[in-house]
Structure 1
Amino acid sequence: MGIIQSLVDFILGLGPSTMLPIILTIFGLILGQGLAKSFRAGVTVGVGFVGVNLVIGLLTSSLGKAAEALVTSLGLNFDIIDVGWPIGAAITFATPIAALLIPIIFILNMILLYFNITKTMDVDLWNYWHLIFPGAMVYYATNSLILAIVLTLINATIIFKLADWTAPAVEHHFGLPGISLPHGETVNFAPIMYALNKVEDKIPGINKINLDGEKLKEKIGIFGEPLILGIILGVLLGILGRYTVTDILSLGIQMGAVMVLMPKMVALLMEGLTPISEGAKDFISKRFPGKDVYIGLDAAVVIGNPSNMTVALLMVPITIFLSVILPYNRMLPFADLAVLPFTVIWAVAASRGDIFRGLINSIITLCMVFFMATNLGPLTTQMGHAVGFEFPAGATMISGIDMSCHITLWIILKLIDYKNTPMFIAGIVALVAYAGMWYWTRNDIKKQYENETE
């Protein structure tokens, strides 16, 4: 275990911008792309990730501070504190089973690929914490290592299959061919969001509204451009947070910069991924006719979509408002307000970028998140105490928006709590509903893009 832990710490310590070029260069060589082409592709991807992370850092620091100022200005107080995904990741990696689960999940992924059970090869090792988190929660809920490992494998398999299923949307809606997003806390919502979109297609009035970025630009001219929209939304958030005039204007420019720079950084990332993706397709088609392989990446590569960012920024004040009016909520939204662009990805993508529907779907998403955050708060807190996390002053319990997006985890926890009859029944109902929505919408993504060429 000590050797495994040291190896894991070394790889995670290098970070994606350093390790991915090495992984992709080796992968390119295996695919027969040659050293020069493989190395250039790998390094370009590394540089792209540096750029993406720089923009995300700008988003997190500027939007996070604005959201915190808004919460403070409203004087909100709850007994569960949203400590944010970095704390969630740190707690998860500090659990005693984390070092064991990383190689187990990786081996599972390779086995599933070999037997054609999944098409996703998840190279996003730094976000494995999303796949480990459910196992860690099960471990502290049951004190059973075996059960935690088994349910981690089941959950990871579901996430890989969801990534496969949503890959056509990643290609055609987000413009990233050959890529899938095995991001547990985001892709969990895809079946529900596509089911909602299907229902909305049948609602008179709503089914006539189509307000994507291009149509918005046509209707309101320059004010519909991503740059100007970012500035306007940033200014509004600054005003709501009671910023000074200088800080309001600064936040506006920063949000405008995020809207413009993120797509450019993703384009650089894709410049490196394209030859690797094409090489993988050629390699697989020659040796395994009819088989496809997707490269599984961090959902960060798609959050810069203009419609996604527009809905995410609008959701900041709406999320805070929801936290106040939802009668069952006990979590104060705080640190993870800056990661709403991740939370709403499939709410917006299911409607193909329709901002109106995306906003409705995002509100429903956050209502579910607040319920799971409140319901799982005691267990998340137990895990935090167990690893020695130092709680913020005044915090009775901890949770987070990101940590509370794992729908499959919530279902698993309720199903194994068979002694608690109401929760066990709730788990069965949720499982049937979730599986039903996935089955009901299983062909919808292909239908949406069946007339579009690659």
Structure 2
Amino acid sequence: MLEATVRYILDLGAPVMMPIFITLFGLVLKQGMARSLRAGLTVGVGFVAIGLVVGLLIGVVGPRSMAFASVLGLKLDVLDVGWPMGAAVSFASPISAALIPSVFVLNVILVATRVTRTVDVDLWNYWHFIYTGALIHAATHSIVLGVVGACITAFIVFKLADWTAPAIEHHFGLPGISLPHTESVNWAPLMYALERIERRIPGLSKLEIRPETIRGRLGIMGEPIFMGAALGALIGALGGISLWREHRYGAWFKEVSTLAVTMAAVLIVLPKVVAILMEGLIPVSEGAREYLRKRLPGHDLFIGLDAAVVFGHPANMAVALLCVPIMLVVAVLLPGNRLLPFADLATLPCFVLWAVAASRGNMVRGLVNAILVMVPILWIGTSLGPLTTELAHTAGVRPEATTQLASQYQEWSALDLGSHILPWIVLNLFQPGTPGFWRALAVGVIYAGAWYWVRGEMRAQYRNEIDELGGTNDIDETDEDS
């Protein structure tokens, strides 16, 4: 009964689940039926609109990237079939029905006891935590270890979301919001550590290119619409190399111009649809904070959302689009990589998010950070291929978006799954005595050390803005020590 209920709710999808959850949340916070329902429906509209824009991005970037991959002659034997397969095998796992309420209850307990401040309302993306549990269950055949591993991952992600919330407010302009989005936020400590190192490198520390700088120097040509067009034309030209070689210049021009206009549209439309989403969330967020101020003085909370709400930041999109061809080249040259980037190339804005945010929109250091993070993503994606393929076969899941191509490969994985560094660490630490255990232990020590080293970066990065506002209640000493 529990499993059937959970699956029914999940099948409704985020555009339906989120309005229901936000409406109920608003009623609990005594916002009134009319205001709560309007907020919920507005959030649902925002999610539908974001889905349409991201779907457009996936539909045009994927095929062009694959065409460029064929030009490079990539002969890799693990196919990137995209994040939807990861979500599908997670929800199809035998322990998913137990993990969703487990993580939800954990979140409530952590917030009630003031251990964390993030209320993760993005139930759809609980699949990130379930994926950890599903991997551990498949590797150890232990449901208990799977549940414990998933809850450990969730706890760390909630703490990371708390720690990075000031950047969401001061850099992205979304107060009261955090991003407990595993494959994004789990890179934040390493990205801030890299940024701290790069600030001390002569030459690199002085290089600075931001979207506003480009607009200032190039005028109208530096606006997001023209940046999107230029980057889209670049990807289209690379993907259409074979057409040029075949002297099909008309078809080549169509490829280039189509992608140029599409990318221009994405960079213009995405921030606007995110604004619709925030129109619904802000009243609920403000109501939640006021509600808690009365009952838990001095304890503000953050509403946890999908990282898609900040994809549209111009610097993030520009770096992500530049990384599409770079990722393919890195995949060719990287020793030990077997993963062929494909479906998730269009979702690179998710993976490079904190590479850019750590540099506060400096596209030079953001691009350097993004390129460096590609290496572990490819290695982890390759490493998780066998278990992910096993989960897919067990659940009878086929990567529907790429079925014809996927049939040519014996193993499936995804760049998105490769971006799950925390689940990879937890998975391998739950298998002592294996070679993966010692690798994960080493990476875990480095990860923890990097986070401890940069724990005060949020306060340092946004001190001036906070002082101007005359308060520090979004960045306190507890956050620094987390």
TM over 0.5: yes
Q: For residues 186-216 of structure 1, what are the alpha-carbon distances to aligned partners after superposition, in whole Å with 9 as ceiling and x for unaligned?
A: 1110000000000011111111122111012
The TM-score with structure 1 as length reference comes to: 0.96
Determine which of 287, 295, 299 is the counterpart of 1:291: 299
Give the corresponding residue for 2:440: 427
How many angstroms apart in 2 are the aligned matches of 1:91 and 1:262? Answer: 29
1:359 aligns with 2:367: yes
Would the alpha carbon gap of residues 190 and 4 (structure 1) be closer, same or farther in structure 2, given more than 3 Å must change?
same
Give the corresponding residue for 1:441: 454
Letter paired with 2:194 = L
Choose 167-176 or 6-15, whichever is displaced more: 6-15
* Secondary structure of the corresponding residue to residue 248 of structure 1: helix
Q: How does 1:196-207 map to 2 (within 5 A)?
A: 196-207=194-205
Give the corresponding residue for 1:11: 9
How many angstroms apart in 1 are the aligned matches of 2:383 and 2:282? Answer: 42
Gaps of 5+ in 1: none
Deviation at 1:221, TM superposition (A): 2.4
How many angstroms apart in 1 are the aligned matches of 2:11 and 2:391? Answer: 23
1:398 aligns with 2:412: yes
* Secondary structure of the corresponding residue to residue 182 of structure 1: coil
Q: How does 1:297-376 map to 2 (within 5 A)?
A: 297-376=305-384
* Secondary structure of the corresponding residue to residue 403 of structure 1: helix
Choose 57-66 or 390-399, whichever is displaced more: 390-399
How many angstroms apart in 1 are the aligned matches of 2:194 and 2:55? Answer: 32
How many angstroms apart in 2 are the aligned matches of 1:227 and 1:17? Answer: 28
How many angstroms apart in 1 are the aligned matches of 2:74 and 2:443? Answer: 31
* Secondary structure of the corresponding residue to residue 81 of structure 1: strand
The TM-score with structure 2 as length reference comes to: 0.91
Deviation at 1:29, TM superposition (A): 2.0
Identity of aligned residues (%): 51
* Superposition RMSD in Å: 1.4
Give the corresponding residue for 2:388: 380
* Secondary structure of the corresponding residue to residue 295 of structure 1: strand
How many angstroms apart in 1 are the aligned matches of 2:210 and 2:148? Answer: 42
Determine which of 152, 157, 166 is the counterpart of 1:159: 157
Deviation at 1:68, TM superposition (A): 2.0
Determine which of 465, 468, 474 is the counterpart of 1:452: 465
Q: For residues 321-373 of structure 1, what are the alpha-carbon distances to aligned partners after superposition, in whole Å with 9 as ceiling and x for unaligned?
A: 00001111111111111111111000100100111111000011111101112
Aligned length: 451
How many angstroms apart in 2 are the aligned matches of 1:419 and 1:36? Answer: 58
Give the corresponding residue for 1:246: 254
Choose 440-449 or 300-309, whichever is displaced more: 440-449
Give the corresponding residue for 1:195: 193
How many angstroms apart in 1 are the aligned matches of 2:280 and 2:428? Answer: 43
Choose 379-388 or 274-283, whichever is displaced more: 379-388
Q: For residues 282-303 of structure 1, what are the alpha-carbon distances to aligned partners after superposition, in whole Å with 9 as ceiling and x for unaligned?
A: 1111111010111111111011
Give the corresponding residue for 1:92: 90
Q: For residues 355-414 of structure 1, what are the alpha-carbon distances to aligned partners after superposition, in whole Å with 9 as ceiling and x for unaligned?
A: 111100001111110111222222222222222234722212111100111111222233
* Secondary structure of the corresponding residue to residue 176 of structure 1: coil
Q: For residues 41-91 of structure 1, what are the alpha-carbon distances to aligned partners after superposition, in whole Å with 9 as ceiling and x for unaligned?
A: 222211111211111111111112221222233332211111111111111
* Secondary structure of the corresponding residue to residue 128 of structure 1: helix
Deviation at 1:424, TM superposition (A): 2.7
How many angstroms apart in 2 are the aligned matches of 1:423 and 1:253? Answer: 45
Q: How does 1:51-200 map to 2 (within 5 A)?
A: 51-200=49-198
Choose 26-35 or 275-284, whichever is displaced more: 26-35
* Secondary structure of the corresponding residue to residue 203 of structure 1: coil
Give the corresponding residue for 1:216: 214
